[in-house]
Amino acid sequence: MKSQFLIASVGSGGGKTTFMLGLLRALQKKKVKVQPFKCGPDCIDTQYHKLISNSDSINLDTRLASSNHMQYIYNTYGERADVCIVEGSTGLFDGYRKEQGSNAEIARLLHIPVILSVNAKGISYSVAPLLFGFKNFNPSVKIAGVVFTNVVSPSHFQQLKDACRDAGMVCLGYLPFDDKLRFPSRYSALTVALKTELNDIASRIAEQIEAHVDLHKLLDLCMRVFPCSYTLPYTSEAEDRKECFRGNKKLRITVACDVAFNYLFQENLDRLSDMGRITCFSPIYSKELPDCDMLYLPGGVPELFARQLHRRKDLLKQIKDYVESGGKVLAECGGVALLAQSLISREGGSVYAMSGALPVSYTMEQASLKTGYRTIIYPGGELKGYEFHYAHIVANDGFNSVRKIYGPDGLESDTPIYRYKNVIAGQVRWYFGESDPWKLW
């Protein structure tokens, strides 16, 4: 038995991340080991979780992997902790098709209750029918209690408590409105200064939780049997993972990892560690590319560090030489910038020369958001991922996409995948926690 729950809200802006970070810090102060998770493909909140909890945060997304896999990684990572907390995304019941892919589906899959975080700005007793609806809409989703955010006064909170009582919900407390509490822009790198700022924010919220939330009651209400039981038919992957790459542990895998390149799934790293020995390097600071059999260049915000990357001329040349020698490279989103001929960091900005390993330009000019789940089919199977970016990859004439990518509707997407020698590059962040990435080649 251990306390386990999912923090959800009625929609975006409900204060899930605020409550999550404060809760992680409050439990850390009590010497409670927490395993954080994140619903969906977001790789920014997972970085925040890791910063505050000192534990790798794991993405749970039923669009990217099977139900058994979600349960397997939840049980595997959760075993190490005293408490398991899953931060939701968007609204509790918001899925790609009704509830499919929603936070509610994850809660049912893991057999854990929900703590509803409700933004109380501009509402008081009228929240009662909203809470009643959420409690009774789907009885298979167990809502253990409610925490309100942006509460402006004791009388305001009393109205909210009355609403909870009349809606049949347990009120666990609140976070007061704090006009000094400002989260940094999500479009930024996790620098030392930003880490300090986020730590200060988490500590401030933790103080509010300690003063206004019944944390002991919350943890008691969410005590559940662990590990969660598997959905039938069950397919064991624990043994499969151990056997999948047996004999290949001598593989040398190099991963770009610093403040400019850190948009990746932790489960990807764990899968790669099953394949061989991982060595990390910093495209911003490293002088040499480590010897490797595979180079993984994940996404990030290279445009914020264009000048620094441009100055690593020796390293960029080594990357190009590695490509020309036939080295295996998987580049995702911002990782493609290192392989490009040039990087343009903003509209009308300077053009910074990169390695030139691929005949493309990586540019933020005319930036527009493109997002969605993607699937690629290859001889060894299929790979699922998520596309979320503003940058464009502009290919030279004659350099065309080599594989078809499909969107969530099963129709072909116009998102390109480029291949040059043993380089596979594109704007999708792939999830290979349940796949064999080596078969891409």
Rounded distance between C-alpha atoms, residue 72 and residue 236, angstroms: 9
Residue 140, C-beta contacts closer than 8 angstroms, at least 6 positions apart: 108
User: 271: closest CA among 433, 64, 103?
Assistant: 433
174: amino acid identity, one letter: Y
Q: Which residues are catalytic?
A: 333
Rounded distance between C-alpha atoms, residue 323 and residue 339, angstroms: 9
**317 within 8 A of 329, measured Cβ to Cβ:** no
Burial class (CB in 10 A: 0-12, 13-18, 19+), 2: middle
Phi-psi sector, 368: left (phi>0), alpha (psi -120 to 50), beta: beta
